[in-house]
Amino acid sequence: MKSIEKIEKQFQKLASYQHLAAICGWDQAAMMPDGGNDARSKAMGDLAVLCHETLTDSRMGEWIAAADADASLTNEQQINLREIKRAWTQATQLPSELVERKSLLGSKCEHEWRSQRGNNDWAGFAENLKKVVEASREEANTRAAQTGVRPYDAMLDLYEPGMTTEKLDVLFSDLKSWLPELIQKVLEKQKSTPVTEPNGPFDTNKQATLGKQMMQILGFDFNHGRLDVSAHPFCGGVPSDVRITTRYDEQDFTSAIMGVIHETGHARYEQGLPKSYAGFPAGEARSMGIHESQSLFFEMQLGRNPLFVEHLATLAAEAFGKQGDAAFSLNNMNAVYKRVKPGHIRVDADEVTYPAHVILRFEIERDLMEGKIEVDEIPVLWNEKMQVYLGISTEGDFTNGCMQDIHWTDGSFGYFPSYTLGAMYAAQFMAAMRKTVDVDACIQALDFAPISTWLEENIWSKGSTLSTEELVIQATGEPLNPEYFKQHLIERYLND
């Protein structure tokens, strides 16, 4: 058997383990009773070690070296080998003991966070978070020592290959130079636009039915996925079995429905990944920034388009028996979904203020990973930055402040920048798509096939066969250009 075939066989085995880990993780967040957490955490820790040891098998280095020297590899095999080498290199940077320890600490921190957040229990949460941060710093420093980059860049590369702190500093400094003024202009403009809040309660079963209706309209394949409930919305599972979740508020259906549309964008990307590379790194999503570009494309570029909101308003009025209710009129629902209002919660933020939430988290986690700040300093820093960026105080309110996100509970430091990078990519993809697709006509007719085709041809089917920069250039004709995002916000919120 050729070396490349041995490698591919090993990765197919790894893909099966990762499949099980993904479904166990979904069940832990969405279905598992609280009493099962200790045993599940232990099982998932053992599974994480099994995945790590499968990937770092002592024979892999020899096989990869032999495959590298094999001149008979097809182009597809060469692409696969490149991404396999990347995954193997990242895995071999860490000892199994650290992988297991971080998994166990993350499971405990995330599980206890669910109740601690509701109880505003920063002291209890901080006790667990300190251990997660300690393990994550160990990971960051270990990776940095072997790659010659700064610790935060080592973590960032796990989510955004090719992205660096230096590049982010440039992008986010530019954002901070014009975003505050734009927020104030939009707030001033919207003072003359009254908004009527849809009056609940809204039955959660009806919200779920409406959400599934939106998913179906947007092309979600229910034969290979499902919708459930969790404390924090997410998209998990595997491409052949995509699990998305949302959370419901009986007094406000608008957040859950748009959250479902957001997660559907993630799911469509997963369901559209190249089948020829299934089970291999080349068949996975290119980066979390590109992944977020798809969810934000669905939520912001499509879901909040006035033509889509018109359909949503009609369907929502029917679902909740609110036909004739002024709150469900097109003008009012447009105002609801275009409303800009600085708030505490990132996942509920409008697209104008959202980048401020991301920049705040980026600045804190960057300094946290590099030892410039400690966990105990987070609440004060969070409050200071919220006041500077959004004019909001979070002093003493940990639930709606520094405890609101799930990402740090498992040590996902380096993830947050992906959200705003995704918004930038999404705006650039829409600008490119409009050159060949009549997007508004498609939305008006609820015919998303041409839109899906463009995304599949230019984004989904590429998987990780291209670098992020190559992917964006092939799809749009130029590298990431944040000007498209700026113009999108100006057009939607100031020039309508």
* DSSP annotation of 408: G
Nearest to 87 by CA among 55, 60, 53: 55
Alpha-carbon distances, residue 196 vs 24, 154, 308, 410 (angstroms): 42, 47, 19, 39
pLDDT at 206 (0 to 100)? 97
**Helix (H) or strand (E) segment spanning residue 185:** helix 165-190
Amino acid 409 reads T
Q: Which two tokens stand for residue 356?
A: 């401020």
Q: What is the DSSP string of 61-114?
A: HHHHHHHHT-TT--HHHHHHHHHHHHHHHHHHTS-HHHHHHHHHHHHHHHHHHH
Torsion sign, CA atoms 385, 390, 394, 395: positive
CA atoms within 13 A on the CB side of 22: 18
State how far Cα 474 lies from the chain centre: 23
Sequence-distant (6+) residues with CB within 8 A of 194 are 335
* pLDDT per residue of the chain (496 residues) written in tens, 0 to 9: 899 999 999 999 999 999 999 999 999 999 999 999 999 989 998 999 899 999 999 999 999 999 999 999 999 999 999 999 999 999 999 998 999 899 999 999 999 999 999 999 999 999 999 999 999 999 999 999 999 999 999 999 999 999 999 999 999 999 999 999 999 999 999 999 889 999 989 999 999 999 999 999 999 999 999 999 998 789 999 999 999 999 999 999 999 999 999 999 999 999 999 999 999 999 999 999 999 999 999 999 999 999 999 999 999 999 999 999 999 999 999 999 999 999 999 988 999 999 999 999 999 999 999 999 999 999 999 999 999 999 999 999 999 999 999 999 999 999 999 999 999 999 999 999 999 999 999 999 999 999 999 999 999 999 999 999 999 999 999 999 999 999 999 999 999 7
pLDDT at 232 (0 to 100)? 78
Residue 263 and residue 275: Cα distance in Å, rounded?
A: 21
Residue in 8, 83, 100, 263 annotated catalytic: 263
Q: How many helices (H) and strands (E) does the chain have?
A: 20, 3
Q: How many residues does the chain have?
A: 496
pLDDT at 283 (0 to 100)? 96
365 is catalytic: no
Nearest to 344 by CA among 309, 393, 302, 388: 393
Strand arrangement, sheet containing 225-229: 225-229, 241-246, 235-238
3-state secondary structure of 216: helix
- Cis amide linkage into residue 198, ω under 30° from 0: no
pLDDT at 153 (0 to 100)? 97
pTM for this predicted structure: 0.93
